Copies of this chain bind each other. A is one copy, B any other.
């Protein structure tokens, strides 16, 4: 049994916020039901291409670049303006239905919250404000501060440093197995949120917890 954490570090997109409105826009624009999944996976891959080749580009820019590539692959022409317009939907996403109640319960239990995202700080602040959950977070952080993308260990270490917390006392909560895997390997406790369509990476070490909803995590940490 792990020692109970004091700090919960939440991933943002898909973990807290529902990307469905953006998915719909991309599917409509490219007339392909898998277009969003192809794009999001390519965006994640290229973020790590940047980190692995010791470069850095803003996540929004990589998002635009990869959406252009996916459009080309699918034989569609999207102007830069149209791409910007489609991707602006990321600032208007609702929280998943379990999030407000889950955060409220966890907050009452005394846990502190941070948010850590691959997106830019400006974008994530707008996102959490739009979803009306920004007030829950003591700190909101972007990997931009270390110019490396998750799951690089420095991204998690940045939050731990700023919030003066030992890794053993922190838990990364994410709906992405690659994020959970990285945090686990960096020595944090972890919780994998099994959002629909999200599955564990079979080669990863087991996460500390695995839940379907944030309210389930609240229940698990209450004991």
Taking Cβ atoms with an 8 Å cutoff, the residues of A that contact B are 32, 34, 37-38, 41-42, 44-46, 48-55, 57, 61-62, 64-66, 68-69, 72-73, 148-149, 151-153, 177-178, 181-182, 185-186, 197, 199-203
Is B34's CB under 8 angstroms from A152's CB? no
- Knowing A34-B32, A41-B41, the reply to whether A53 touches B199 (Cβ < 8 A) is no
The CA of A201 and the CA of B177, in the complex, are separated in Å by 26
Is B51's CB under 8 angstroms from A45's CB? no
Chain B proximity of A31: nearest CB distance (Å): 13
Is A151's CB under 8 angstroms from B49's CB? yes
- Knowing A38-B37, A41-B41, the reply to whether A202 touches B53 (Cβ < 8 A) is no
The CA of A219 and the CA of B57, in the complex, are separated in Å by 35
The CA of A55 and the CA of B153, in the complex, are separated in Å by 11
